[in-house]
């Protein structure tokens, strides 16, 4: 879903400027709670699913779904693969950060260092000023020389305005001379000669150079519009206190239309103090506290994911050859004891197998109860021995199949960093029991259908999921992985009518029975969707 256009008959509404709002009935292929896509008629009453009646396949038109509205009008969607699913739940994302990123220089489309610098230079021309700039999204694994940005690269664009350029993973960034003068060099993982830092400093940029409340509020609206256009109606946010405050303002004012369960990130030098002093905030109608997020290691792109077998490119025996463990064992155990005592669910970022092993051992030593169902985020290196331990410890396993689509193909980032055999073994989706697996996007990109493709096209055929299993990992999986779910993310009588109609892209999104997004018939597939109605929930 990267090029081409939807056929003109893909979406027809009664009015392009005032689309129908209240859904009364759906006819067509529907993914039911038991996991089968069957022809059915679904009725909606007061925002909930009132009835589901299956149909004889011989009596329905293949490749067609019809949405009926309370106005008496109907929308027919006719194209291969059309189906009605439960609306998606993004089990791991950064909604507010994604919205902020839309206001910053975006380097994700750059296919070389020169393209990245040209894009940043163009943005700076259009946005003159003296304030610091955070550029986002560069990915050197797609560049001919495979080398990341440096401070010297950014100095070519000017040395008076502070500029940081953060890699797509968020775990490594380059800083020009003005930024180094402003931030200093006393940061773990900072290389003054290169003007590059990993982990703590890149992750702290939004706190060091904070956006205004107004920018945060706009970021929420921008990001939720995109989420709805991607069929996502509930996100499990890995956020901070300022992000929570912005989401709460939107919730209290009635502008928050997606549901949000937030895990609070405790990171950096004061991470343990943050955990120890943390008090759970008050929930709102569409905003709930979910738990505590801990970073245990870094990323493959920064070569800071903590691994048991050394990175091939690093000097044998060098400490950096095995990546970075963010916590020592004693501090990690103390953080887990606090979470256990306070009843906080833990979501731990562990990409490498050494980080996952440290997490499991700490949970064991603390006696963290399996029934508390702690989570591990990413778990890209999940060998059989650690998976078995994860099951015994009750872990929910949050994985990002869009990482496979982005970086696990032949010649991609993972092969560049780990070699072909170890790269192929990453992200073993089929190894994980369906009732333990959940998917999230990590907003790279914010779009479940792209991730579904990654899960279904894993380079190891034995680790591929079928489409229904992938959809369920993006619906039921996240819904059962928080203590206070907003809904069960499945199509059955009594559930809220949160629905998405898909073909090769998301065609329509329904929230509480209201149509909040319709893809324009002339909109390019894979581009930023249009058609979100910001007033639909007000």
Distances 253 to 225, 229, 236, 281 between C-alpha atoms, Å: 16, 22, 21, 18
Query: What is residue 268's predicted lDDT score, i.e. its pLDDT?
Result: 77
Query: What is residue 536's predicted lDDT score, i.e. its pLDDT?
Result: 28
| Phi, psi (deg, nearest 5) at residue 144 | -60, -40
Measure the CA–CA gap between 474 and 470, rounded to whole angstroms: 6
Measure the CA–CA gap between 490 and 85, rounded to whole angstroms: 8
Query: What is residue 63's predicted lDDT score, i.e. its pLDDT?
Result: 82
Residue 329 has a CB neighbour count (10 Å cut-off) of 12
Nearest residue to 464 via CA among 507, 499, 431, 510: 431
Residues (pLDDT < 70) of the chain are 1-20, 315-319, 520-538
Q: Which residues touch 523 (CB under 8 Å, ≥6 apart)?
A: 5, 6, 529, 530, 531
Question: Helix crossing, 241-252 with 213-229: angle to 10°?
Answer: 70
Q: Which residues touch 12 (CB under 8 Å, ≥6 apart)?
A: 75, 76, 521
Question: Helix crossing, 384-392 with 353-366: angle to 10°?
Answer: 30
Q: Are 464 and 429 in contact (CB under 8 A)?
A: yes
Residue whose entry in the numeric block shows the structure tokens 């996991």: 35
Residue pLDDT, tens place only, 35-63: 899 999 999 999 999 999 999 887 777 78
Measure the CA–CA gap between 338 and 349, rounded to whole angstroms: 18
Q: Which residues touch 135 (CB under 8 Å, ≥6 apart)?
A: 104, 105, 106, 107, 120, 123, 163, 164, 165, 166
Query: What is residue 270's predicted lDDT score, i.e. its pLDDT?
Result: 81
Size (the chain), residues? 538
Asked whether the whole model's pTM tops 0.85, one would answer: yes
Q: Are 355 and 306 in contact (CB under 8 A)?
A: yes
* Fold of the CATH domain 98-208: Diaminopimelate Epimerase; Chain A, domain 1 (3.10.310)
Number of H helices, E strands in the chain: 18, 22
Q: Output DSSP code: residue 512.
A: T
Query: What is residue 530's predicted lDDT score, i.e. its pLDDT?
Result: 40
Parts of the chain belonging to CATH 2.30.40.10: 8-86+492-518
Query: What is residue 78's predicted lDDT score, i.e. its pLDDT?
Result: 84
Nearest residue to 375 via CA among 440, 301, 449, 467: 440
Q: Output DSSP code: residue 410.
A: T
Parts of the chain belonging to CATH 3.10.310.70: 98-208
> Is CATH 2.30.40.10 correct for 8-86+492-518?
yes
């Amino acid at each position: 879903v990267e090029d081409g256009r939807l056929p003109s008959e893909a979406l027809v509404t009664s009015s392009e400027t005032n689309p129908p709002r209240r859904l009364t009935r759906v006819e067509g292929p529907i993914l039911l709670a038991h996991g089968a896509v069957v022809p059915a008629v679904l009725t909606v009453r007061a925002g909930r699913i009132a009835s589901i009646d299956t149909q004889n396949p011989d009596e329905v038109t293949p490749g067609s779904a019809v949405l009926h509205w309370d106005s008496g009008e109907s929308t027919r969607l006719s194209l291969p693969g059309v189906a009605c699913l439960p609306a998606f739940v993004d089990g791991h994302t950064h909604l507010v950060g994604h919205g902020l990123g839309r206001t910053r220089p975006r380097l994700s489309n750059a296919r070389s260092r020169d393209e990245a610098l040209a894009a940043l230079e163009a943005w700076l021309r259009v946005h003159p000023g003296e304030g610091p700039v955070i550029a986002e999204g560069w990915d050197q694994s797609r560049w001919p020389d495979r080398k990341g940005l440096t401070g010297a690269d950014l100095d070519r664009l000017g040395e008076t305005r502070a500029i940081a350029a953060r890699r797509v993973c968020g775990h490594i960034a380059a800083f020009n001379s003005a930024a180094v003068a402003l931030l200093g060099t006393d940061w773990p993982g900072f290389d003054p000669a290169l003007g590059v830092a990993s982990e703590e400093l890149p992750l702290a940029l939004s706190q060091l150079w904070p956006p205004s409340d107004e920018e945060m509020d706009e970021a929420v609206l921008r990001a939720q519009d995109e989420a709805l256009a991607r069929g996502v109606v509930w996100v499990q946010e890995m956020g901070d206190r300022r992000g929570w405050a912005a989401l709460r303002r939107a919730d209290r004012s009635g502008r928050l239309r997606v549901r949000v369960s937030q895990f609070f990130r405790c990171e950096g030098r004061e991470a343990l103090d943050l955990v120890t002093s943390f008090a759970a905030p008050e929930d709102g109608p569409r905003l709930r506290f979910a738990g505590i997020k801990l970073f245990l290691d870094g990323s493959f792109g920064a070569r800071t994911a903590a691994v048991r077998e050394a990175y091939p490119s690093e000097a044998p025996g060098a400490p950096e050859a095995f990546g970075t463990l963010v916590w020592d064992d004693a501090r990690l155990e103390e953080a887990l004891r606090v979470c256990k005592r306070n009843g906080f669910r833990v979501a731990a970022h562990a990409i490498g197998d050494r980080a996952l092993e440290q997490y499991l051992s700490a949970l064991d030593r603390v006696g963290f109860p399996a029934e508390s169902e702690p989570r591990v985020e990413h778990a890209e290196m999940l060998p059989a021995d650690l998976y078995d331990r994860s099951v015994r410890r009750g872990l929910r396993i949050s994985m990002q199949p869009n990482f496979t689509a982005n970086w696990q193909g032949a010649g991609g980032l993972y092969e560049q960093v780990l070699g072909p055999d170890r790269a192929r073994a990453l992200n073993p989706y089929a190894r994980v029991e369906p009732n333990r697996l959940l998917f999230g996007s990590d907003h790279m990109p914010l779009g479940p259908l792209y991730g579904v493709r990654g899960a279904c096209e894993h380079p190891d055929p034995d680790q591929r999921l079928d489409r229904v299993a992938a959809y369920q990992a993006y619906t039921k999986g996240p819904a059962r992985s928080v203590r206070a779910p907003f809904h069960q993310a499945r199509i059955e009588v009594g559930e809220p009518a949160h629905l998405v109609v898909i073909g090769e892209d998301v065609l329509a999104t329904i929230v509480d029975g209201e149509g909040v997004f319709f893809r324009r018939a002339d909109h390019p597939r894979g581009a930023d969707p249009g058609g979100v109605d910001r007033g639909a929930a007000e």
